[in-house]
Structure 1
Amino acid sequence: MAMTWYDAFGRRVDLTALKEEQAAPVVGSVRRHDALHPAAGLTPGRLAQILRDSIDGDPENYLALAEDMEERDPHYGSVLSTRKSQVAGLDITVEAAGDDTKSIEIADMVREYVGRDEFEIELRDILDATGKGFSCTEIVWDTSESQWRPKRLAWRDPRWFLFDRVDGETPLLRNGGTNDPLKPFGWIFHSFKAKSGLPIRGGLARGVAWQFLFKSFTAKDWAIFCEAYGQPLRLGKYDAGASEADKEKLLEAVTNIGTDYSAIVPVSMAIEFIKADIAGSHELYEKRADWLDRQVSKLVLGQTSTTDAQKGSYAVGKVHDGVRDDIEKADAKALSATLNRDFTRPFVDLNHGPQTKYPKIRIGRPDEVDVEALVKNVTALVPLGLPVSKKTMLDKIGLPEPKAGEELLVAAKVAAPVDPNANPAQLPPKSGVAVNSVGGVKRDAIERAAAEMMGDWMPLVSPIVAGLEAEIAAASSVEDVKALLAKRFEGLDAAAMTELLANSAFVARLAGVVDDQL
């Protein structure tokens, strides 16, 4: 019995239809690439009509205008490209549906495809929905060798689509007199929602359109102003008795200076250049254009500080980066959901049959880990019994599992401390040959000097400390203890102690200079 497939919306899949492209451009078809430029000569009344038509079932002019705005307005094109590129360039991971061999095999199949270099470009095409509200990407399948592999993800011009007039959400492909539903398992339909509502009203271009219109008026007025008042005035002067021929010659000379930058006039005539010193009024155009650009930045990026120069913009930009991160995460999650519904499921079903659980494509930045704090906490808690996996720690700090035979880093061994109350006879012997290790642990020259000093120090202080604890315990006041200690120190050979400390310091200094590690 032949297997039957259904897509995420419960529609039956026609495998035969999937082997042919549904929206390939055809000569004489309504699906054409000829240019529409509604931005040319755009007026407020015309823009309002375009926006109304897009809701009433004819979005072609609106979608063409959205394309025009990306090309004609450098600021909008830049910030929109930034938003799309930022999401398309994020890390992509594929989580297997389970730990069994089959789940891992399926995940590896998806992982191999999304790991292609071309996939980032395909994601940018899918994210064309960011501006226009939706995007339709056709999956061109390769069925050779008895397998179903996406040959490419083909971007299709959004002007080729419209929406069902009943629900306003189901995309339909223009096809002359009929409008065809998109083939199940054949399309990635991504809807962008800058706000709740119909897909055609969810794109950023709708909000930018009015700013684009007003800015185009401002730029045009600015150009006219500069042309009229930005050039120096060329003033020709003639004598009172000049003839009409002389006047015409002077006028021709003044005109030629503006085009040819050269002219000749009689000595009796003069040409004066009056500098165009205009203060204040010309700044209105720049300020208005900048203000409109900032509104576009707010709409597209959620902030202005990383795109528009302003006082204190670095500090403010650090704060606004958090807003931009929120937008990035929302876009990445929405894109992941679309891919898992319209790409992962068809890819898996056509090659392995319907599954109860599917691998998940995840797009986003990895969670940042404070490695220093993590190591500090683990170091403190493991001795208290906290179980921590070695593999987990390696993953958290970004280190791979060491391979067999590789040289490993080990902690430096520290010599065991010498007990100051130990019997001098039990300390390492003082002899002409230095004792360089204890229990197999190497000691440097400073450690050896300290051990030797302990051997010399004990005979000097033993008479002073002998029985001192009991006498202090029997004392009745602080004054009695002070008197007791003073009496004890009277027997201390201060000269011998001073010499011992000086010699030890000298030995330690020499060991440090020569870097003695024996």
Structure 2
Amino acid sequence: MPRYSRILGPDGERVDMDALFGEPQAAPQLYGYRQVQSVQHVDGLTPWKMAQIHRAAAHGEPQAWLELAEDIEERDPHYLSVLGTRKRQVCQLPMTVEAASDAPEHVKHADFIREWLKEGVLDDALFDILDAIGKGFSVLEIDWDASPKRVQPASLVHRPARWFNFDQADGETILLREGATGQPLTPHKFVVHRHKAKSGLTIRSGLARIASWSWMFKAFTTKDWQIFIQNYAAPIRVGKYDPTASDVDKEVLARAVFNIAGDAAAIIPKGMEIEFVGLKDTTKSAEAYEKRCDWLDRQVSKLVLGQTTTTDAVSGGHAVAQEHRLVQEDIERADARALSTTVKRQIIRQMIAFTFGPQEFYPDFRIGRPDEVPLGEVVNALDKLGPKGLTVEVSQLRDRLGFTEPAAGAEVIGGRPPAPIEPPPRDPAAPRELAQLRHLVSRHASAPEPEFVDRMTERLAEDAAGALAGLTGEIRAAFDAATDMADLAERLTRLELDPGELADAMGRAIALSHLTGRAALLDELGGGRDAGRD
């Protein structure tokens, strides 16, 4: 009897512990359907035999076809190259996990998946999962690792597609080749990824089914080309014999004609003749083979990558290359989206359900480039909109550019240049104050009021105290020793103050200069008042 536990799957059903955590179900066999060695179908392949293999796969017997698809990858460098390019392009894309919501438990689920991704188990398996691009489907067996706190895949083991079959009833359900009818796959034990290059049965949707014809015709052309190259520039030997020659004489002549190419020497009876007929134009014949092979390769490039510019040197310039690259990016996004769905439904949800129990909402998992504005446009927008009031957090811009916060004391490049040292602006109120002071002086010179002079003297003392406040000992000493403003500016320059301190000191100096003038006037007023008293 199956040993069930309290572990539930995403569907809420209890899982079979023995089947899920026991021995692998699709392990290789020394004898049986799942042998490591496979049959080679490419030797002696003809169009009739190719059609027969395709027909058998469509009727529920895909083993020969799947073995042929694997052979084609091993024998055609171009097909292997473009197919590998398409797979690796998706394998290198970033993977992101987003919590289902801001709830603490959902954030915990997302962090759990992120920690598992750091172990690289999925990174190692992505290339094998994408084997479905060529064959239409791929199967990986999950080796689950269970601990008291978490359940997660320890490895994802690729199983050859030829070890599986399809249910005869629906043509879609994948079964393990075992017995007469096949064995159903254990739930939550396998990752089955399907690639749809076209609508219809999965076994007929792989790219290898279409590429196989181009490969076969290219193989025929390559074989003829090799024979041509072997005999290139060698004349055709024509042996002539007399009508009265016996069968023995004909056999001697035939051996001489066939052997003379390799040995470059032969003997024939007198009266026999060998004629060497050379080809007049062999260049065009050689180009015919090459052009046919190139044309077939371009068809495979279009099939797998959707374009030819990234694999073949064709005319058209940079603009054509950019358009072709956009086509390849469209295919990349489609592959990444399908792969993300498979991983999310067959791995991520199982991990969460086995560890935390079935959930109503699960983390979102995505493979692909982020839909972001290009960096050039971001920098251009900041350059134009920043002066108009646009504000952006520095941390966001650093993250967008991939930069980190500089460490304390680290050597850095860039930053705002220091503000230039400029003389402090003149206080526009000072001239007005002096004019007002002169007006008051002229108004009260004839009969100065003691209260007015006292109030002005008291205000002057308060202003002078404010101007002198905050000065350091060095700056105050420079103030005391200076004879005039020019001397004070020179003394402050020798102190090598930073721009802020220097500007503050100069501002206070100008204020004190104005106050000094006001003090002199008050002294005059005070003297006139004292003389009047005398």
Q: Same fold (TM over 0.5)?
A: yes
What SS is found at the alignment partner of 2:182?
strand
Report the AA paired with residue 181 of structure 1.
P
The SS at the match of 1:281 is helix
TM-score relative to the length of structure 2: 0.69
Alignment CA distance shift 1:223-1:370 (3 Å)? closer
Measure how far apart 1:156 and its partner are.
Answer: 0.6
Change (3 A) 1:169 1:300: same
Alignment counterpart, residue 350 of structure 2, candidates 336, 346, 349 = 346
Q: After TM superposition, give the deviation of residue 132 of structure 1 in Å.
A: 0.2
Shift of 1:131: 0.1
Q: d(CA) in 1 for partners of 2:377 and 2:344?
A: 36
Match of 2:134 in 1: 131
Counterpart residue number, 2:294: 290
Q: Which moved more, 1:413-422 or 1:395-404?
A: 413-422
Q: Which amino acid aligns with 1:5?
A: L
Match of 2:419 in 1: 414
- How far did residue 274 of structure 1 move? 7.7
1:13 correspondence with 2:15: yes
Report how far residue 134 of structure 1 moved.
Answer: 0.3
- 1:156 and 2:214 correspond: no
Question: Could you tell me how far apart the structure 2 residues matched to 1:443 and 1:4 are?
Answer: 70
Work out the CA distance in 1 between the residues paired with 2:251 and 2:64: 52
Residue 59, structure 1, aligned to residue 59, structure 2: no
Query: Quick one: which of 341, 358, 364 aligns to 2:362?
Result: 358
Counterpart residue type for residue 31 of structure 2: G
Counterpart for residue 90 of structure 1: 93
What is the Cα deviation at residue 116 of structure 1? 3.5
- Classify 1:255/1:26 alpha carbon distance in 2 versus 1 (closer, same or farther; 3 Å): closer
Name the structure 2 match of 1:107: 110
> Which of 487, 490, 494 is the aligned partner of 1:433?
490
What RMSD over aligned residues (CA atoms) do the two structures have, in Å? 4.2
Is contact 1:148-1:350 (8 Å) kept? yes
Return the letter of the residue paired with 2:283. A
Deviates more, 1:159-168 or 1:382-391: 382-391
Change (3 A) 1:254 1:26: closer
Verify the 8 A CA contact 2:7 2:354 in the aligned structure 1: no
> Could you list the runs of 5+ residues in structure 1 that have no partner in the other structure?
238-246, 449-518
The one-letter code sitting in structure 2 at the alignment partner of 1:433 is E
Pairs aligned (count)? 435
SS at match of 2:418: coil
**Per-residue displacement from partner, 1:423-480 (whole Å, max 9, x unpaired)?**
9x99974788276499962799xxx9xxxxxxxxxxxxxxxxxxxxxxxxxxxxxxxx
CA contact (8 A) 1:305 1:313 kept: no
Check the 8 A contact 2:221/2:292 in 1, yes or no: yes
Call closer, same or farther: CA 1:11–1:326 in 2, change over 3 Å: farther
Distance verdict in 2 for CA 1:407–1:46, change over 3 Å: closer
Q: Structure 1 residues 22-31 or 311-320, which shifts more?
A: 311-320
2:223 aligns with one of 215, 220, 223? 220
C-alpha contact 2:5 2:17 (8 A) present in aligned 1: no
Match of 1:326 in 2: 330
Q: CA deviation at 1:175?
A: 1.0
User: Are 2:368 and 1:310 equivalent residues in the alignment?
Assistant: no
Q: Unaligned stretches of 5+ in structure 2?
A: 241-249, 432-483, 507-534
**Map 1:78-477 → 2, pairs under 5 A:** 78-117=81-120, 119-143=122-146, 147-232=150-235, 258-259=261-262, 277-312=281-316, 315-367=319-371, 369-371=373-375, 373-378=377-382, 381=385, 386=390, 388-401=392-405, 411-415=416-420, 429=486, 433=490, 436=493, 441=499
- Percent of residue pairs identical: 47
Residue in 2 that maps onto 1:35: 38
Q: Please report the TM-score for the alignment, with normalisation by the length of structure 1.
A: 0.71
Q: CA deviation at 1:295?
A: 0.6
Q: Secondary structure at the match of 1:93?
A: strand
**Larger-gyration structure (1/2):** 2
The amino acid that maps onto 1:328 is E
- Return closer, same or farther for 1:293/1:22 CA change in 2, 3 Å cut-off: same
Q: Secondary structure at the match of 1:433?
A: helix
1:282 is paired with a residue whose SS is helix
Alpha-carbon separation, structure 2, partners of 1:55 and 1:249: 54
Q: Distance in 2 between matches of 1:372 and 1:419?
A: 39
Give the C-alpha shift of residue 44 in structure 1. 1.9
- The aligned residue for residue 467 of structure 1 is none
